[in-house]
Amino acid sequence: MKTCVKALCMTLALTAVLSIGLSAHAISYTDSSQIQYKTAVGVMTGTGIVSGYTDGSFRPKDSVTREQATKLLSYAVLGEDAVSRLPRQDTGFSDVPAARWSAPYVNWCRQNGLIDGMGDGTFDPEGPVTGFQLAKMLLRAVGYGQNGEYTSSSWELTAAKDGFAKGIFAGIANSNPDKAVSREDAAFYIFNTITKLEKVVYDKPSDKYVPADGTDAIDNTLGASVYGIVTTGSGATTIHGTVTANSANGEKGTTVSGIQYSYETGASYLGHRVTVYTNGKAEPKGRIYYIADESTAVELKSAISGKDFFKTTFGENISVAPDVLVYDETGSLSEAKSIPSFDLQTGAAPAGSYVLNAGVITAYIPRFEEFAAVVGETKDGKVRIGETDYPVDSVYCESGEVNCGDIVLARMIGKTLNIRPAVSFTGELTKAEAEKDGTINYFVLGAELRSTSIRVEGATGNVIPAIGGQYRFYLDSNGDVVAILPAA
């Protein structure tokens, strides 16, 4: 039996990144497209405060239970190492015995005044927690609540008011803190808390909360003291810059404004403005928690011309940065300072990817030639893609799991072959029509598909389909057919 490439993308991602500078694992969930607060979830995952499920998903819309909230709080306040040493003992709640998985977290939160029970000796561990309830816990975690403001009958109103005033809910969208908090909302609230809220103590003579470190600088947050994350001021450990190279073209991880990090971002981050969240330490204790993408991208599959089409594609009031990064057809930075054949006045734009930051085009990457190929066996550190053997560490899988025999779409960017699974579906061919240029239009499941001239390298089962037959159709990035195989 031939050796197949199981979970090729994971294997390639791990072998392609060199250990240069700070190190971290890239964060990728199978349902990442459904996550609204990507930066918050990314940083919280990198710190270990939140985690995904064994199937690779994050499930951002799932509700958080009361006992799950105690685990999040424990990690946010103590950090991974300290949490791992929490003792397993009686919690004081009849429904959370010492043997329950959450007992160490519930017990620590109870002992430190971060949570309350139900008033009858129970905790209701599987009950939902609302955004306001979580905000109260987080406010207590940084020092508020020492004057009893969250114990009266109006505690929820006070917690809601403080949560908004102090920035826990800053940037909230499409969520209601009065309802059961979702996993991504919880990550968002905790991210805001540990990066924005200074730890405080209650000063009884003045009846005020004052910074715990006696200064006005926002550098004594939980993020700073526990994880080394400082987002403002001269001591900031976050790094802002542009991705000029990455593991999909530089083979040395991700380069941000001249600094190389062994953190996987991939081809899609090339030219993007990003923020690197780190603990601010050098090796061997240095750590990257997350690289947050702050740009948007517009991809043109073919050149356009005309103001109306241009506005539809890019939107209104688009400008070009004076320091726009222009890449050549190999994926390397070009000496050019302007985008070839790009004209704001006439609305002309060549094919390729445009990176925008706040409505300003900051980078342009030309469209690389794409080809379709079959993944072959891996042997002696090389994997066969189509009819060519590539070193494993020079192949980068953009997304999905790729196995031996799969048809992929590939582009050579610099010295790295970027691959991704070709979209495919099975259906009955109901009609086929040939055009004068030799293009064939296939009609399947009510859709009209065009054949493409792209040759599928390494394919052995390509067939000439018969009307009424069941086939699997593979498509390129334009939605054209690159391969037709008999349905299994």
pLDDT tens-place string over residues 58-67: 999 999 999 9
pLDDT in tens, 294-324: 999 998 988 999 999 999 999 888 999 988 9
Asked if residue 163 and residue 312 are part of one domain, the reply reads: no
Contact 385, 424 (CB under 8 A): no
Mean pLDDT of all residues in 91-108: 95
**Among 17-21, 43-47, 455-459, whose mean pLDDT is lowest?**
17-21
Mean pLDDT of all residues in 354-358: 94
* In the predicted structure, residue 21 carries a pLDDT above the cut 50: no
Contact 278, 289 (CB under 8 A): yes
Asked if residue 383 belongs to a domain, the reply is no
Structure tokens at 205: 């003579």
Check which CATH number belongs to the domain holding 467 and give it.
2.40.50
Asked if residue 160 and residue 42 are part of one domain, the reply reads: yes
The tally of CA atoms less than 13 A away on the side-chain side of residue 351 is: 7
* Sole residue written with tokens 């979580």: 134
Asked if residue 329 and residue 220 are part of one domain, the reply reads: no
Q: In the chain, how many domains are there? A: 3
Asked if residue 432 belongs to a domain, the reply is yes
If pLDDT is split at 50, 70 and 90, which confidence band does 458 have? low
Asked if residue 221 and residue 329 are part of one domain, the reply reads: no
Which of 348, 366, 384 is the C-terminal boundary of a domain?
366
pLDDT at 153: 85
pLDDT in tens, 244-284: 887 665 455 788 988 888 888 877 788 899 999 999 988 77
Distance from C-alpha of 48 to C-alpha of 277, rounded to nearest angstrom: 14
Asked if residue 428 and residue 360 are part of one domain, the reply reads: no
Asked if residue 269 belongs to a domain, the reply is no
pLDDT at 461: 60
Contact 289, 304 (CB under 8 A): no
Which of 366, 390, 415 is the C-terminal boundary of a domain?
366
User: What residues contact 472, with CB distance under 8 A and at least 6 apart?
Assistant: 424, 425, 426, 484, 485, 486, 487, 488
194 vs 381 pLDDT, higher one: 194
Asked if residue 190 belongs to a domain, the reply is yes
Asked if residue 168 and residue 87 are part of one domain, the reply reads: yes
Asked if residue 208 and residue 101 are part of one domain, the reply reads: yes
pLDDT at 454: 61
Asked if residue 378 belongs to a domain, the reply is no
Asked if residue 275 belongs to a domain, the reply is no
Asked if residue 458 and residue 329 are part of one domain, the reply reads: no
Asked if residue 311 belongs to a domain, the reply is yes
Asked if residue 325 and residue 220 are part of one domain, the reply reads: no
* In the predicted structure, residue 325 carries a pLDDT above the cut 60: yes
Asked if residue 146 and residue 33 are part of one domain, the reply reads: yes
If pLDDT is split at 50, 70 and 90, which confidence band does 2 have? very low
Owning domain of residue 147 = 26-227
Asked if residue 192 and residue 127 are part of one domain, the reply reads: yes
3-state helix/strand/coil string of the chain: CCCCCCCHHHHHHHHHCCCCCCECCCCCCCCHHHCCCHHHHHHHHHHCCCCCCCCCCCCCCCECEHHHHHHHHHHHHHCHHHHHCCCCCCCCCCCCCCCCCCHHHHHHHHHCCCCCCCCCCCCCCCCECEHHHHHHHHHHHCCCCCCCCCCCCCHHHHHHHHHHHCCCCCCCCCCCCCCECEHHHHHHHHHHHHHHCECEEEECCCCEEEECCCCCCCCCEHHHHHHCCCCCCCCCCCEEEEEEECCCCCCCCEEECCEEEECCCCHHHCCCEEEEEECCCCCCCCEEEEEEECCEEEEECCCECCHHHHHHHHCCCCEEEEEEEEECCCCCECCCCCCCCCECCCCEECCEEEEEECCEEEEEEECCCEEEEEEEEEECCEEEECCEEEEHHHEEECCCCCCCCCEEEEEEECCEEEEEECEEEEEEEEEEEECCCCCEEEEECCEEEEECCCCEECCCCCCCCCCCCEEEEEECCCCCEEEEEECC
Asked if residue 430 and residue 348 are part of one domain, the reply reads: no
